[in-house]
Copies of this chain bind each other. A is one copy, B any other.
Amino acid sequence: MDNQFLPMIEEQLLSFLPSEDCKEKKLIEAMKYSMEAGGKRVRPQLVLEFNNVCGGNPDAAMPFAAAVEMIHTYSLIHDDLPCMDNDDLRRGKPANHKVFGEDTALLAGDALLTLAFETLTCDRAVIFAGNTACRRAVNRLAKYAGANGMVGGQVIDLMSENTQVPLETIREMDYKKTACLIKAACELGCISASADKAQVLAAGRYGECLGIAFQIQDDILDCTSTDEELGKPVGSDEQNKKSTYVSLLGLEKAREMVTTLTDSAIASLSLFEGDTSALRSFAQSLANRSN
């Protein structure tokens, strides 16, 4: 993406968090710590880009963008906990529970997940997007982030550890664990602009294709890249005997799938009259990325 909305996101994102001036200060600090920890803000940018190509008002999209990033952030905090992946580091910084303790990290995740839905329905969202769009946004985001979405994908991942699984399971896991929240971001962008149902569907297709392509590209890089290029240890999938697109289909077929998915993502942009160049180049950059 050309990052045209990144400054707005970085400027406003933290303003949706509660004030630290309260007895539960430590909780708010823990929430802020992980929201600040950065990342590329892919999901909030997708919300604002789709709002833009639907001719919407960024003021309507910004609460939705913040909500999606809150869901993404909570999932990382809970993922890093000792009872899950037990990761001490996240993006080069100590994981939330290493700084604030496991109990506060757990609650900070819960609070961010809850705050996402408060934010989707806040006064600003209602004024700029309307009650119906807010209600629809809550329903879509909850669906894609919940038991048959992102959380469901994490459970499938847990059950697939140290065991060979068929391609169908990998596809469903990648779709739910990674693609669902990206899909939600794209749909919420359209909903914030009161776009019609066909456009919401097309945006969802773009997000879904992109999310799965991203995951396959991850598998490809894990077996073709070097530690230096990727910025993290490669070869972990083979070492863990993890079933991936590459191990099941071979490198060439996996690369073909990334190309096909990228093409499908871009094709689904034809329904939008606004300038989709940023969304097109974003899809291409994901397919060509080397880290």
* CB <8 Å contact, A117 and B115: no
Which residues of chain B have C-beta atoms less than 8 A from A104's C-beta?
155, 158
> Among residues 103 to 139 in chain A, which have CB atoms less than 8 Å away from a CB atom of chain B?
103-104, 106-107, 109-111, 113-115, 117-118, 120-122, 126, 131-132, 134-136, 138-139
- Judge whether B131 and A117 touch: CB under 8 Å: no
- Contact yes or no, B152 A22, CB < 8 A: yes
Q: From known contacts A78-B110, A103-B158, A106-B106, infer whether A152 and B24 are also in contact, taking CB-CB under 8 Å.
A: yes
Given contacts A78-B110, A102-B83, A135-B135, whether A23 and B152 have CB atoms under 8 Å apart is yes
Point out the residue from B23, B78, B155 that lies within 8 Å of A172, measured CB to CB.
Answer: B23
A122 to B135, CA, bound (A): 9
- In this complex, the interface size class of chain A, counting residues with CB under 8 Å from chain B, is 35 or more
Q: Chain A: interface secondary structure?
A: helix
- Is A151's CB under 8 angstroms from B121's CB? no
A291 to B117, CA, bound (A): 36
Give the docked Cα–Cα distance between A176 and B27 (Å): 14
A115:B131 contact, CB within 8 angstroms: no
B83 x A147 contact (CB < 8 A): no
Determine whether A84 belongs to the interface, using a CB cutoff of 8 Å to chain B.
yes
Bound: A132/B172 CA distance, A? 35
- A9 in the interface, Cβ–Cβ < 8 Å? no
A53 interface contact, C-beta 8 A? no
Q: Does A94 contact B (CB under 8 A)?
A: no
Residues of chain B contacted by A121 (CB below 8 angstroms)? 135-136, 138-139, 142
Q: With an 8 A cutoff between CB atoms, is A215 at the interface?
A: no
Which A135-177 residues have a C-beta within 8 angstroms of B? 135-136, 138-139, 141-143, 145-148, 151-156, 158-159, 169, 172, 176
State the CA gap A88–B104 with chains docked (Å).
20
Could you say which residues of chain B place their CB within 8 Å of the CB of A78? Answer: 106-107, 110
A23-B115 in contact (CB<8A):
no
Among A26, A104, A106, A121, the one with the most B-chain Cβ atoms within 10 Å of its Cβ is A121
Chain B, Cβ-Cβ closest to A126? B135
Q: How far is the CA of A14 from the CA of B84 in the complex (A)?
A: 27
Residue A221, interface by CB 8 Å: no
